[in-house]
A and B are shown apart, each in its own frame.
Chain A
Amino acid sequence: KAGVTQTPRYLIKTRGQQVTLSCSPISGHRSVSWYQQTPGQGLQFLFEYFSETQRNKGNFPGRFSGRQFSNSRSEMNVSTLELGDSALYLCASSLALAQGNSPLHFGNGTRLTVT
Chain B
Amino acid sequence: AQKVTQAQTEISVVEKEDVTLDCVYETRDTTYYLFWYKQPPSGELVFLIRRNSFDEQNEISGRYSWNFQKSTSSFNFTITASQVVDSAVYFCALRRAIQGAQKLVFGQGTRLTINP
A interface vs B, CB < 8 Å?
3, 31, 33, 35, 42-43, 45, 48, 50, 55-56, 58, 88, 90, 92, 94, 97-109, 111
Contact = CB atoms under 8 A, between A and B. Distances in A.
Interface of B: 32-33, 35, 37, 42-47, 50, 52, 91, 95-109
A101 B33 contact: yes
Nearest to B106: A43
27 contacts: A31-B102, A33-B103, A48-B102, A56-B101, A56-B103, A88-B43, A90-B43, A90-B45, A97-B99, A97-B100, A97-B102, A98-B99, A99-B98, A100-B32, A100-B95, A100-B97, A100-B101, A100-B102, A101-B50, A104-B45, A104-B47, A104-B102, A104-B104, A106-B37, A108-B44, A109-B43, A111-B43
B106 A100 contact: no
A108 B52 CA distance: 27
A7 B96 CA distance: 30
Contacts of B105: 45
Contacts of B101: 56, 99-100
A55 B100 contact: yes
Which 8 A-B pairs give the minimum distances between C-beta atoms? A106-B45, A43-B106, A100-B97, A109-B43, A108-B44, A103-B47, A100-B101, A100-B95
B58 to A, nearest CB: 19
Contacts of A58: 103
Given A100-B32, A101-B50, A101-B52, A108 B42 contact: yes
A95 B52 CA distance: 18
Contacts of A50: 100, 102
A106 B46 CA distance: 7
